[in-house]
Amino acid sequence: MGRTDVRVSEPISDLLYCISNSMRRSMLGSLVEYNELSFSELKRHCGLASKYDTTGTFTHHVSELMRVGALARTGGVYRVTEMGKRMYRIVRLLEHQSRFLREVEEKGGEKTMVKKDELVLKSASKEDSPMVAELIASYYYEQASRDYEVPKEYFEYRRRSIDFTLGITGRNLVYIAEEKDKAVGVCWWSIIEKENSVGGVDKEAFLEHLYVRPGHDIEGISEQLMKSTLQILLDEERITILNVWYDMDEPLKESFYAKFDMRQPENLKLLMYVAQWARPSWPPKKMK
């Protein structure tokens, strides 16, 4: 009673279809690690926030895995089946091979995208992770310090917690701006594929971070980063939806991002949102 198992589908195309989606791969990995999870726990371990997905879409991914017999449900708890474990081992093998090929390509190829005067834009490699972490931590620290008395430990906390090589529900694409061989800016996109209501797939890109250090041409470098990365997202990644959050207090406001509301291709959408920044418990700065 209360147990739901789904008969395994025979065609291998169904299995390949299931593991082709990054969210379903994340579900398998979470259940292999934690053995049993409720719906809300599974969603949380897959790294989903409200801005990335809806419960309806997540339910669809669960049902697809159950349809091929990769997941089973007992009451309100999900677990991975033996079929699901075998599928996960295949995923891990493919991920290992993909990572190896990507590292070989990066070592043998040119990573630089743009060279303009003293400005160089390039895709970030794994070795650039500490540099990216410092830039993003600087962004968080500067943003918080505008209104709050921020403890110095906050910068180190942010720096240690950032690793762009870890993509939970999708992939991270990160690009660096350098002047005179020093990193001055970063542009970070996260890419997620989702089934849409008509049976197709939307490939969404979320602008996680766009930051340029103070003392540099913030708007000019940011515009170069946006133009270069958007070209890659459109031509190579075939993105259909762009998502941008911006803070009303940041140097780059709606008017800056509106410049990139391209109408070609026609199915490309640019969605912009005002960021609701979480208010910390630090004391506010005293007005001078």
The per-residue DSSP string of 15-49 comes to HHHHHTSHHHHHHHHHHHHHSEEEHHHHHHHTT--
DSSP per-residue letters across 105-127 = HHHHS--EEEEETTEEEEE--GG
Same domain, yes or no: 45 and 184: no
Same domain, yes or no: 90 and 124: no
Strand order in the sheet with 3-4: 3-4, 71-74, 77-80, 36-38
Kindly report whether the global pTM for this prediction surpasses the value 0.75.
no
Same domain, yes or no: 130 and 210: yes
Task: State pLDDT tens for residues 61-111.
Answer: 888 899 889 999 988 899 999 988 888 888 877 765 555 445 444 444 445
Q: What is the mean pLDDT of the chain?
A: 77
Mean pLDDT of 180-196: 85
- pLDDT for 287 equals 60
Last residue of a domain, one of 71, 101, 131: 101
Last residue of a domain, one of 35, 69, 101: 101
Judged against a pLDDT cut of 60, whether residue 224 lies above it is answered with yes
Residue 279 in domain: no
Task: State pLDDT tens for residues 115-144.
Answer: 666 788 988 887 888 999 999 999 888 888
Residue 280 in domain: no
Half-sphere exposure of 171 (CA within 13 A, CB side): 13
- pLDDT for 113 equals 60
Containing structural domain, residue 140: 110-274
| Count of domains forming the chain | 2
Mean pLDDT of 182-204: 81
pLDDT class of 281 with cuts at 50, 70, 90: low
Residue 283 in domain: no
Judged against a pLDDT cut of 60, whether residue 192 lies above it is answered with yes
- pLDDT for 78 equals 94
